[in-house]
Amino acid sequence: MKKFIKFTALLTCGMLSLQLISCTSKPVATESSETTNVFEATTTEISETSETTTVTETSQTTSVETSETTTEATTSETTAATTESSETSASSSASETSATPETSQISNDVCAIYTKIPEEKKNYIIYNEAFGGTITANAMNKGFIGITIVSDGTNLTGDIPAEALQFTVFYDERQNFTLRDLDGRFLSATSQGELILTDKPVEDNYQFWRMEETKDGWHIINVGAANNQALQYSSGTFSIRTCANTSAFVFNFYEVG
């Protein structure tokens, strides 16, 4: 009987112990559950933060790509505008260049053509290259006043001044020549050292001239005059002086068509 009572008491104590254990284990389970929920919440927050970061990075990437695209588009437009401007400038320059020859041709019409050696019975202007002058019939200081004609470096251009004398060349058997203006007057020298225009030949060959080649043209030397008297253009006046190796004594012939 005593053994049974002891067994019953032990059984009762065991049951009480199990209940205590059961009651104690429930709060622990709750803490674990709460901890789990906190971890899950933290994980959720981290996930949301990651998603936010990803969205931000995506936005930044999109912004960068958009900026690069905009920059490329702007650069392309600028390049196209520059190219179009260059082409327009080139076209304008080409138009101006193509128009220039016409203007030059109008303002630089050739009035007399350079000739190395004058031919007989053709008309010429006697031209001093250094001072750009030709002779007129206006007398001055034992000679004649000169007048300027424009040269393009090869031929005479523009209009021939009305005062400018044109001479027809005639050779003799010695290849000396006379210079007769359009009125038939001879360009001649005199024994007094004058340059004249005369209606008829003069004595002692003063109406004859010969050419002596020099740099850039000819010396035109009078056959009848002593001391190698030659045609000279100095200080705006044509006269005859003893020939010297200076530009004042250098002349060329330009044929008038």
Instruction: Tell me the pLDDT tens digit for each residue of 167-205.
Output: 999 999 999 999 999 999 999 999 999 999 999 988 889
Q: Which H or E element spans position 48?
A: helix 2-107
Q: What's the confidence (pLDDT) of residue 9?
A: 53
From the centroid of its chain, how far is CA 224?
56
User: Model pTM?
Assistant: 0.59
CA angle 116, 120, 124 (to 5 degrees): 60
Q: Encode pLDDT of 16-44 as tens digits.
A: 444 434 444 443 333 333 433 433 443 33
How high does pLDDT run on average in the chain?
73
Pair 193, 229: CB distance under 8 Å: yes
Output the CA–CA distances (angstroms, integers) from residue 1 to 5, 11, 12, 125, 244, in the order listed: 6, 15, 17, 173, 176
Residue 251's pLDDT band, with cuts at 50, 70 and 90, is: very high
CA distance 180 to 249: 20
**Fold category of 110-255 in CATH:** Trefoil (Acidic Fibroblast Growth Factor, subunit A) (2.80.10)
Q: What's the confidence (pLDDT) of residue 153?
A: 87
